[in-house]
Structures are given as structure tokens and as C-alpha cells.
Amino acid sequence: MIVEARGVGFVYPPARRVRPFRLADLTFGVAAGELLGVIGPNSAGKTTLIRLLSRVLEPSAGEILLEGRPLARLDRAEVARCVAVVPQGVPPQFPFTVEELVLMGRFPHAPGRYFESGADRATARAAMAATGVLELATLPLDTLSGGERQRAVIARALAQEPRLLVLDEPTAHLDLRYQAETAALLRRLNRERHVSILLVSHDLNLAAEVCDRLLLLAGGRPVRLGAPEEVLEAEVLEAVYGCEVHVDKNAASRRPVVQVVWPDAGGR
Amino acid sequence: MSPGARLVAVLGVLALVLLLVGAAALFVGSAALSPGAVLAALTGRTGARSIESVVTLSIRLPRIAVAALAGGALAVAGVAFQALTRNPLAEPSVLGVSGGAAFGVVIGQSVGLGFGVLGAAGLTAFAFAGAVVAAGAVYLVAGAGRLSVQTLLLAGVIVGLFFASAITVVISFVDVNRLGGVIHWLLGNLATIPPASLGLFALTAAAGLALVLPHARELNLLALGEEAAQQLGVDAERLKLQIFAGAALLTASVVAFAGPIGFVGLIVPHALRLLLGPDNRLLVPAAFVGGGIFLLAADTVARSIVAPAELSVGVITSFCGAPFFVWLLRTRYRALL
Amino acid sequence: MAGLRARVRAVEQAVAAGSRPRVLYVLWPEPLIVPGRESLVTELIEIAGGRSISASEGTDYPRFALEAAVARAPEVILLANHSASTGGIDRERWRGLTSVPAIRDGRLHAVNGDLLHRYGPRIVDGLEQLARAIHPEAFR
């Protein structure tokens, strides 16, 4: 197991949120080379899960193991050498170029170093090549398209040389073509670089297409964990999301496809 | 060119410019010494008790050192506050931190601290306390967490105004006769200070720089946001504390020895960003030298433009800084407001 | 009033015979602020038998460059202190200025500024104080 959560719980301090939020009884693992999808409605606890796995937050119950070692006993750089989080983008007015961004991924490997080494630069170039942004290396992030920016951010995470790549809604702001590209990229990275992937997404169909297993969260609790066709069952989803759905199979990949049954569709 | 070589080249060029500006400043002044006389004093060909020697070595040289140090310290404080708050317009005077430090110094003076190196150390401590209180107040007024650019600036202005009023109150209670001196000092005023005090100034400024410079790479990562920086291995809480302490110490040392000189921390970092890009590993050391160049040039103007009287150097930096601030707002950071 | 006038005349007579040394009157040390052409202190220094090196400056109390003061080689330096609450006088910053005759000859004196900066009967006390500092030989 690359990462293992054992009975993990977490409660946001009451002051931090208007409505107190809690995560409870979370037990799962990501095996070496596995692609696990985490899905669920808004405020299911997906973002909290990412923060727990990257030690931004500490669990209030249970424990998380990283390659068998308790996460709580690792320092930040150790965690970052194992787990790389891909955020949804970079902040507005982020002033650096693609290459400078990707080189930031080398920080946990030598936090005391003032400038990156030649080896760091080579790793960063390989990461840029892997996501196809090498020719954009000298461009500032704010001159790129949404898809290019996403690939630059993924390259930064790859430069960390992690065992586990955690992606936070990687297709949130992307159109269909970039969604397809991202899906293909993740599968290729998983295959060629043997990096395990934890994909957090609203997009059930993307998750079903890309992932080996899915973890469905709702209201801070795990609802189901298993292969996409075991998790994406109409009655389960209807209970969790509170709307009528229809589950089909993708003609090409034989993976489940979830469609909303629009409440008014018949009356038009 | 490797980044290390680039840093060396940048620092080399800036150091050369600093040397040239410093040399030029040695020949300028209201005592109207001929260049030959200055050279004679520098090479020791005049007696140590000659006017040439005293003016050149005991008056102009220490003041040049103070100007270079103060400018460097303020510019580094500017870079540090900008990275810390992720706000390109943050700066010790804009944030009200200089005002807090000035209040600290006025309090220190009113309880009797003043002369000699011990007095200067005491005033630096009071200035540091004032800077920390002001920065803390800005943080509280603006509200914790990720601050929007406007909120932070507004909070800085409010805190700055508060401390300006507080200073006025203290002065009016202390002694009318001191007013003349304090008013000039509040504008930001460089002076020839005795060697022991100059040494103390250099030491505190170096301590401030030492708190910031080693973390320049982490400051780059902070541009990703605090959470993303943590996920890359940055201990964000400790980093913020260190940078905050360093920037406050740099500001406090300048305020204690030269008064609250405004806008250096805005002009110099942004000018250098236009030349060098956003990398704090280049900006922090370059700002230390570049800030010295800028303030030294400004002070040379301030002490020669109305000779034998003098202007406060803060007047010059504000005349440059306020329009520059407006220009930055209207062109480069329009989107933020 | 008659008594005051007599005391002023006594000062004038006492210093009449002596030279008229160059005086730097330091109203405020940092930044250096000195009495200018129009100021009362400049006038008092004249009466006390000295010549203020800043007597020709434009305004009442101009800011003055330290090096300009040094270049004018004052023979007497008078540091005004302002009541007890402001503490002592900072002699330290002047010690290094060894080219200045006043420093060389040990003629750096503190004077009570409260007696000199405001119009009123106590000005005569201030004048006597100035005269003693500028012409100690005349009051032995």
C-alpha cells in the first residue's frame, strides 16, 4: 500500500465554518500502481480528504500510513516526496514561468538548497516533456490556455517524483477535448511512470473511465468502495445525490456512464 | 547561464553601480570641497584634523554608509512583505509598519532613551516592538486568512493613520522644543551617525537580512498559496513568522536610525522585478544592493539641492514613490482592484 | 526694567574689548537646526560678543548641513538643551569633528535653551549665560 487510511476522522473547529463539518470512519488504501477515484456530492469531504493525505490537516481520529509509516511522524518535505497534490490551478497573478513552476516541485528533495541543481533541472525537463509543456517552458503561466496550465501544474507534481499523485478536480475548468486529454495523460502516467493516482472529481464519468476503483463519499462518510460498476449503481447514486439517474455502459470502454434524468424531461 | 552565475553577475553590476554612486556622493556637499581635496583626504595626504579629512571621512562617508544600509534594508523589507502577503503593493510604510516603529521610537525617546550606542539599541528595540504591534494590528483589522489586496492596503492605511495620531499626541505631551527635530525625523532623515551606532545599525540590518535571504526559495513557493506551499514541503507557519520578524526588524532598524522613510520598499523591488523577473532568490539580494543605490542617490540630492540647508530624504522618496504607486495601480495591478 | 537694561549694558561692556569668535549655536542636533538671520538667538549672540556662523541664512531656524557648519570652522559651539525632560546633551557626535577649532580647544558648551528661545525677562539670564560661554575671560 502506498497510502492507507485507518478509521480516519476529522472535525473542523466550529469557528472555521458556519456549519460544523465532520469526516468519519474513513478506511481505504491505494495500492502501488492503482488508480483510485474519490467521488461524491458537494461537501462530501473530498477536499478535506486531500488536506488530510497531504498533512495540511491532522486527523482527529484514526491514522494515515504512508508506505507503512505514520503520516503524523513525517516532516513536510518527507510527505511531499511521496505525495504530490495537483491543485486546480495557480493563484491569479502568479508571476512565474512554466519551468520555474515545475522546478518548485524539486523543493522537497533538497529544501536547504538555494538554487536547484543540474539534476533537478533535468528532472523538471523530463516532467515537462511527460505532460507536453516542454516547448512552453519559458512562458508565464498567465499566458497559457486552461488545458496548458493544467498540464504545467501536473508537470510540477511529477517533478516531485511522488509515489502518489493526488488530483483535485483536474478537469473542472476544461472543455471536452482537454478532459479527454487529461484522462489519457493520467492513464499514461500511471502506466509508464508507475505512479499511483488518487483522482478527486465531481465528474463521475471521467472517474469511471480512468480509475480502477472508486470511493464514494457523502456527508463526510464513505458510502461505497469498489470497481466502478459496483459503485456507480443507480439506486446508490440516487440516494446520495438526491436525484434520478440512469446508468449505462460506454460502448467503447464498457465502463459505466451516469446520466441525470432531468426532472422535467418528459413534460416538454 | 546558470542561476548562480546570473545572481553573481547581477550583484556584480549592482555593486559596481553602488560603488560609483557612493564615490560620486563623496564629492558632493555643501562644504564645497574641490575633487582634489576629497581625493587628498581619501588617500590620507591631508592631516586627520584637516577640514577636508573631517568632512570627507567623518561626515560624508558614514552618511553614505547609513544611506546604503537603510535603502537596502527597506527594499528587502518590501520584497519580504510583498511575498509574505502575496500583495505586490505591500511595503513597510504602506502597511503602517513604519508608522508603528516610529511610534515605538517616539515612546522610547520620551522615556529618556537617546544618545550613544545603548540608547540606539534601546530605540531599535522599541521600534521593533512598534513594528510588530502595527503589523499585528493590520492583520487583525484586515481579518485573518487570505487577505484581498484592497483590504490589506486599507488596513495598512488605517493603522498608519492611527500611529501618526498617536505620535502627535505623545509629542504634544512631551516637549514643544523637540518638535522641530521630530518633524524632520518623521519625514525620514539620514544623518551622520557615530561609528558604534553605525555598527549596531549594520548588525540589526544584517540580522533582518539573515532571517529573509535563506528562505527566498520558499517565498517563491508561497506564491502558489499557503496550502500548496505546505504540500510542497514548506513549513508555512514557521516561514511566515521568520519573514515577518525579519521584515519587521529591517523596518525597525531603519526607523530607529533614520526615521520612517517611505516608498523605498515599493520602488526598488518593482524596478528590479521589471529587470530580473519574479524570482525572490535574485530579488532579495539584489534589493539589498539596489535599495542602497536608490536611497544613496536620493540622499545626495536631498543634501545638495538646497545647500547649505538640507531636505529630508523622505521628501525625495515620497515625491518619487507616490506617483510610482499610482502608476503601478493603474497599469500593472488594475486587475487586482 | 531698569535693572534688566543695566545688566544688558554690563554684558555689552564686558565683551566690548574682546575678539568676536565664530559661534555655532545648535538649536537641535539631528537634523542640525540653527538660528538664521531673523532669529532672536542670532541677535543675542551678537550682543554677547560673538558672530553666529549661520547669521546670514534665510529663514528663522533653518536646517543646516553638518559639513557646512564644519566648513565654517566655528570657534565656539553652543548646544541648547531643552528643559530637564529631554535628558542630557549628546556631546559624542561632535567629538570626531577634530578639524573644528571649537572641538580642538574644548569650547563645546551646553546652554539652557529655555532662557534663549522665548521673549521675556529671562532672556537677560540667557544673554549672560551666552556671554560667559563666548567670552569666559571677561567674567573671571
The amino acid present at B207, given as its one-letter code, is A
Q: What is the pLDDT of residue B249?
A: 96
Q: Examine the pLDDT at C113 and tell me if it is beyond 80.
A: yes
Chain B residue numbers with beta carbons less than 8 Å from the beta carbon of C96 are: 54, 58, 194
Q: Which residues pair with A164 in a beta bridge?
A: A83, A196
Which residues 3-32 of C have a C-beta within 8 angstroms of B? Answer: 27-31
At A177, is the pLDDT very low, low, confident or very high (cuts 50, 70, 90)?
Answer: confident
Q: What is the CATH number of the domain that holds B248?
A: 1.10.3470.10
Q: Which three cell numbers stand for residue A233?
A: 449503481
Higher pLDDT, B47 or A266: B47
Q: Is residue A154 part of a domain?
A: no
Give the whole-angstrom CA distance, residue C39 versus residue C37. Answer: 6
* Residue A5: its H or E element: strand A3-11
Integer CA distances (angstroms), C74 to A51, A231, B225, in order: 72, 95, 61
The Cα–Cα gap between B100 and B85 comes to 18
B177, closest residue in chain C (CA to CA): C82
Confirm whether A234 is domain-assigned. yes
Query: Which H or E run includes B296?
Result: helix B280-304
Query: CA C63, CA C42: separation in Å to the nearest integer?
Result: 15
B332 pLDDT above the threshold of 80? no
What domain range is B224 assigned to?
3-336
Residue A130 is assigned to a structural domain of this protein: no
Q: Is C77 helix (H, G, I), strand (E, B) or coil?
A: strand
Rounded (10°) angle between helices C123-134 and C2-16: 10
Nearest to C99 among B54, B112, B309 (CB): B54
Which residue segment(s) compose the domain that A212 sits in?
Answer: 1-67+163-241
Window from A261-265, B129-133, C30-34 with minimum mean pLDDT: A261-265
C98 touches chain B (CB under 8 A): yes
Q: Chain B partners of C73 at a C-beta cutoff of 8 Å? A: 51
Is A104 near chain B, with CB under 8 Å? yes
Q: Nearest CA to CA, how far is B42 from chain A (Å)?
A: 39
Q: Which of A47, A54, A78, A115 to mutate to test the interface with B (most CBs of B within 10 A)?
A: A115
Cell of A60: 482527529
pLDDT in tens, B85-94: 888 889 999 8
Mutate to test the interface with A, among B6, B86, B150, B217 (most CBs of A within 10 A): B217
Chain C residue whose CA is closest to B119: C90
Q: Provide the percentage of residues in chain B whose pLDDT is more than 90.
A: 57
Assigned domain for A193 exists: yes
Mean of per-residue pLDDT scores for chain C: 86
Q: How many CB atoms lie within 10 A of CB B5?
A: 10
Q: What is the CATH number of the domain that holds A26?
A: 3.40.50.300
C64-97 pLDDT tens trace: 899 999 999 999 999 887 754 444 556 777 877 8
Least confident stretch, B108-117, B130-139, B233-242, C25-34: B108-117
Of A80, A90, A107, the CB nearest to B217: A107
pLDDT at B128 (0 to 100):
95
Interface present between C and A (3 or more CB pairs within 8 Å): no
- Going by the DSSP 8-state scheme, the letter that residue A115 receives in this structure is S
Average pLDDT rounded to a whole number, residues A83-94: 91
Amino acid identity, position C114: D
* Mean pLDDT calculated for residue range C16-39: 88
In a domain, A235, yes or no: yes
Class of domain C2-139 as given by CATH? alpha beta
Give the count of beta carbons closer than 10 Å to the beta carbon of residue B172.
10
Q: Which candidate, A152, A77, A151, places its Cα nearest to that of B217?
A: A77
pLDDT at residue B115, rounded to an integer: 67
Residue ranges of the domains in chain C? 2-139
Listed in sequence order, the residues at least 6 apart from B123 whose beta carbon sits closer than 8 Å to its beta carbon are B104, B105, B108, B109, B113, B114, B256
Q: Is the per-residue pLDDT at A15 higher than 70?
A: no
**Residue B147 pLDDT:** 62
Taking the C-alpha atoms of residue B86 and residue A65, their distance in angstroms, rounded to an integer, is 34
Q: How many CB pairs under 8 A join A and B?
A: 81
Q: What average pLDDT does the segment B240-246 reach?
A: 92
Count of Cβ atoms closer than 10 Å to residue A126 Cβ? 16
Residues A196 and A145: beta-carbon distance below 8 Å: no
Q: How high is the mean pLDDT of chain B?
A: 89
Instruction: Report residue B70's pLDDT band, with 50, 70 and 90 as the boundaries.
Output: very high
Question: What's the pLDDT score for residue A43?
Answer: 83
Nearest residue on chain C to B115, alpha-carbon basis? C90
Subunits adjacent to chain C (3 or more Cβ pairs under 8 Å): B
Of C31, C73, C83, the CB nearest to B184: C31
Nearest chain B residue to C36, by CA: B309
- Residues of chain A positioned with their CB less than 8 A from the CB of B2: 115
Question: Would the pLDDT of B262 be above 70?
Answer: yes
A85 has a pLDDT exceeding 50: yes
What is the total count of domains within chain B? Answer: 1
**Structural domain contains residue A111:** no
Residue A17 lies in a domain: yes
- Number of folded domains in chain A? 1
β-bridge pairing A245-249 and A221-226 = unpaired
Residue A266 has pLDDT above 70, yes or no: no
A228 part of a folded domain:
yes
Supply the ipTM of this predicted assembly: 0.92
pLDDT bin (cut points 50, 70, 90) of residue A230 is: very high
| Contacts C24 to B, Cβ<8 Å | none
CA-based Rg of chain A, rounded to a whole angstrom? 19
* Cβ neighbours of B278 in A, within 8 Å: 95-96, 100
Q: What is the mean pLDDT of residues B215-221?
A: 97
Placement of cell 548588525 in the chain: B203
